[in-house]
Amino acid sequence: MIPVLKAIAPGFHSTVQDQGRRGFQHVGVPVSGALDRNGYLLANALVGNTPGAACLEIIGSGPEFEVIGTSVRIALIGSGGGLEIGGRDGPFVPSGQSTRLTKSDILRVRLGGDAFCSYLAIEAGFDVPLCLGSRSTYTCAAFGGFAGRPLRSGDVLHGFADDVPTRDEVTFGEPRSLGLDQAIRVVLGPQDDDFTAAAIEEFLHGSYTITPASDRMGFRLAGPPLAHKSDYNIVSDGIVAGSIQVPGSKLPIVLMADAQTTGGYPKIATVISADLPVLAVRGGGRSVRFQSVSREDAETIRWAEHQQLLKIISGLRPVSESQGIRIEALYNQNLIDGVIDANA
Amino acid sequence: MDDFRILTAADSALVIELGAAIDRKISDRVLALAETLTRAGLPGATEIVATFRSLCVNYDSLTATGAELERAIAALVKGAGAASQIRRLWDIAVCYDPHYAPDIEEVANTVGLTAAEVAALHAGTQYHVYMIGFVPGYPYMGDLPAQLRLPRRLDPRTRVPPGSLAIATSMTAVYPYESPGGWHLIGTSPIRFFDPESTSGALLRPGDAVKFRPVTASEFSRIRLAVERNDYVPESTEFAA
């Protein structure tokens, strides 16, 4: 266990996540893992990790750390935002770019505000004990990740490397598109038969808003109510990330990474796997439209999305080592703060 | 077996539906099919989750297509015999004393029995683990004796203590974690039903059988201490299903 980062401030909800906990759903254990699979993979790619390394998933507000290892390579994937090094006057490393920090550096994660969840990766990954085969945090039952909970001030995060060699830091060619206006594609079912034809119409043509009561378990939507043909209870059935269940309130809930494994409400549709990350980065207040596709379409889209992701990763290119004040950095900071500091 | 449907959960899972009810025959078919599919090692399938009346076969759409899996599963469903499975019958200590059973008097009054009779009826039945869900390790067990079947409470509790033994409808369960809950609490078990530090996580698996053994308050405390020291495993015997 190599101490790497010490939390000066924990951020609103920062949890250690990996690709999820597979193989225990039959005993009621949710998959968990990064809500935005792509953000997680891209953050790992920036610091040279293979898929599977544990990252920090950041929701709501960014944490602040002191580097306590000899050196650490680190990168943020968010939307806008980035890493402020050593306070407001220090260098600013935008989201989507790696950097190497050394002992006693102070690192503040600034979120851009557009993405619901952001990912902070370090080279070689965060070292927390494997729990049922995964490093993902499942806060509801308080296991996995860092002590089964979000970070708190004073927590010390461990890694697998005390020192990382200098190398060209890397960045992606273009900023990542979050697809905030894109329709979320679904395959109807498994229980679309439990809904009236009018409800299916409403669901596919209405506009929904993600409510603030949304979290890693599920995104609760406000919008046109969806009427069941008769009862809204079914005998419990399996759930996947993306299942859209409709309880007695008639308002849909999209189940996400921490969702329970079984449920007794009919599921009108299921978000296709390629669009789970697209939905995950939209937080409370954002709108969602749904579009119906076939399962075959869903599989084709997923394949294309995966190729696109591999292309983005293969397009990583070196950035200048000069981390002084740059136009791009100032532009980013002004976007975040919404003010221009005339003295900067 | 022709009476099944394969439903779609986008490109994440196939749902093999064998019925729409909580029914021991359906459950036996579900669990036998889960065993058959697991042994077959379906390419691309990542996890098979058994529920009361269906199987959720998770798959990775980058390595398999739903159509391929559907064909493979349909062939196996039709050919599935009664795969022999090794299950366990568990002996689970429970204290039914009123101090550990906040609702047992109310349940007794409602069904016209004494609290002692409720405990005796509950402990006198062997239960089948239909499925595990709701929270990690939460076993849905049945069937309750007809006299003990009640609807859920009108006022669900926001916090049910871990270890609580609960009943509602035809089911009984033990809450492995503190959680909200709408079932009637008629006892407490000192046993740990879920341990994330263990290799398998949950004590019980779908298809296991459970008998509850009434213990005194002092026996309860002794077992709980032993459980906390990781020095107690409930007794179980294997049986073939």
CA distance B233 to A266: 38
What is the reported pLDDT for B82? Answer: 61
Q: What percent of chain A has pLDDT over 70?
A: 92
Chain A residues with CB-CB distance to B37 below 8 A: none
What is the reported pLDDT for A330? Answer: 43
* DSSP-assigned letters across all residues of A73-100: EEEEESSS-EEEESSTTS-EEETTBEEE
- Average pLDDT of the residues in B227-238: 95
B61 to A302: CB separation less than 8 angstroms, yes or no: yes
Strands A117-122 and A55-59, how do they pair? antiparallel
CA distance A324 to B136: 49
- pLDDT tens string A81-136: 899 998 667 899 999 999 999 999 999 999 987 789 999 999 999 999 999 999 99
Q: What percent of chain B has pLDDT over 70?
A: 97
- Mean pLDDT of the residues in chain A: 91
CA distance B18 to B25: 10
What is the reported pLDDT for A339? Answer: 37
B137 to A271: CB separation less than 8 angstroms, yes or no: no
CA distance B45 to B69: 8
Q: Distance from A140 to chain B by nearest Cα, in Å?
A: 9
A302 to B8: CB separation less than 8 angstroms, yes or no: no
- Mean pLDDT of the residues in chain B: 94
What is the reported pLDDT for A336? Answer: 40
**Where would I find the H helices in B41-87?**
66-79
DSSP tag of A141: G
Of A255, A207, A249, A257, the C-alpha closest to A226 is: A249
Cα A256 vs. chain centroid, distance in angstroms?
Answer: 11
What is the reported pLDDT for B9? Answer: 98
Instruction: Mark the ranges of chain A whose per-residue pLDDT is less than 50.
Output: 321-344
CA distance A108 to B131: 45
CA distance A32 to A213: 18
What is the reported pLDDT for B106? Answer: 96
- Tell me the pTM: 0.92
Least-confidence region, from A78-92, A299-313, B41-55, B130-144:
A78-92
What is the reported pLDDT for A335? Answer: 41
Are A103 and A68 spatial neighbours (Cβ–Cβ below 8 Å)? yes
Confidence of residue B49 (pLDDT cuts 50, 70, 90): very high
The CA-atom distances, in angstroms, between B85 and each of B7, B24, B26, B33, B79 are 26, 16, 16, 11, 17
Chain A residues with CB-CB distance to B27 below 8 A: none
Cα A152 vs. chain centroid, distance in angstroms?
Answer: 19
What is the reported pLDDT for A51? Answer: 87
Q: Distance from B114 to chain A by nearest Cα, in Å?
A: 32
Which residue in B12, B53, B55 has the most chain A C-beta atoms within 10 A of its own C-beta, making it the best mutation to test that interface?
Answer: B12
The CA-atom distances, in angstroms, between A83 and each of A55, A94, A111, B89, B221 are 15, 6, 9, 56, 52
Q: How many Cβ contacts (< 8 angstroms) between chains A and B?
A: 151
- pLDDT tens string B157-193: 999 999 999 999 999 999 999 988 999 999 999 999 9
Chain B residues with CB-CB distance to A229 below 8 A: none
